[in-house]
A and B are shown apart, each in its own frame.
Chain A
Amino acid sequence: MGNAFEIRNLNVYYGQHQVLYDVNMNIRERAVTAIIGPSGCGKSTLLRCLNRMHDLQPGVRVTGEVRFKGRNIYDDDVDPMEIRYRIGMVFQKPNPFPKSIFENVAFGPRINGYRGNLNELVERCLRQAALWDEVKDRLHASALSLSGGQQQRLCLARALAVEPEVILMDEPASALDPISTAKLEDLILELKSRYTIVLVTHNMQQAGRVADETAFFLNGRLIEMGPTREMFANPREKKTEEYLTGRFG
């Protein structure tokens, strides 16, 4: 299998403050890649480089390359809307729009000029997100009436509705209870046959359960990356071992 992303010499600065240092890594297609590391090490920052969310924030500077399917998404002629449309994102805290469940899922297709059957699409995405059975009778109720776990799965369905190639998830389970978390992890495992998934988590067990590959970050640097099982059983770097054994973080 090929690479979805090839990250080369990536540096990110918030104003004067550098948060990512010379990151080089590949992210495999149709696999789950976990990004782990202690809080503040730059996981979210890295994730947001992958769909150019940093463009929305003044004062953020990105240097280096992020090649998506061989193409550097930071090239001048790349349209960030197009990138974000092809690369979906699920945020740390569920952020459904204050609209109906249906309208939340239909949002992406609508703004991207979808002409097919919206009802079918919405149903398919809600099923993929394992939410259909819970909401099929109240599609036009407010999305805010759902529980936190349901809201997060709705956000996943919303991201799926534009049929992205990649789904970026930033600690998607951090605001959820254990049962919702388990459901979400099952979903991730199901989705990886069709999507490239990049999962930021500070929960090593979670990474161990769902990730094919894991990248460990510390203080803005990529310390080690490899197949999850190998890395967990046999870390090459001392810092990785210390982190995995809970010595810090």
Chain B
Amino acid sequence: MAGPVIALRDLVFRWPGQTGPCLDIAALRVEAGEQVFVHGPSGSGKSTLLNLLAGVLVPDGGELRALDVDLPRLSAAARDRFRVDHVGLIFQQFNLIPYLSVLDNVLLPCRFSPRRRQRASADGGDARAAAAALLTHLDLAESLWQRPATALSVGQQQRVAAARALIGRPEIVIADEPTSALDAARQAAFLDLLRRECAAADAALLFVSHDQRLAGVFPRQLAMGEINRATGAAS
């Protein structure tokens, strides 16, 4: 991938019903395979930015390109398709669907995206094998794979979520405070695993947290306060 995976310019976003914009970002570029730590206080618009990058929200103005695709121009359905094809997401907690097994949770993107399924099969022979390989890399014993997602500890659940975000090698992985429910030792371990696997999959990683202590391991750090010119958001 030659160009940047994410490029925004003069992006403005305002939540309906709010007076001022929540986000107003002059420029932001993330290169392929780059690992970026995004931090900022609560309410500074981090999650809002991720929703924009994932194509769930549409900016009110400015330019937003992901993988050279003009996201705001796409229809809502096409943005949903783009998301599952190219973006892996990990949230703070409750990432997993309780009634699916660990393995089925990991395979969810392959259910919705032929591209992810194809790429996963190319990696492992078939999608299941690829999921199994990822789970093994992320230190999840095979005995857990068929268990319901709810039977796992929070730390294990987050690793399953990471495997799901990575299966089929999407170009962008977005993690919204995935470690805040973990203790310090596990945070570091999770971060290591996640970064290693993102590098292996050649995926750019946007890692969001308000916890500055995690910033050290990332080659690049972004402070919301610096890139976001809107003042109304942080309260």
Q: Are A and B interaction partners? A: no
Residues of chain A at the chain B interface (Cβ within 8 Å): none
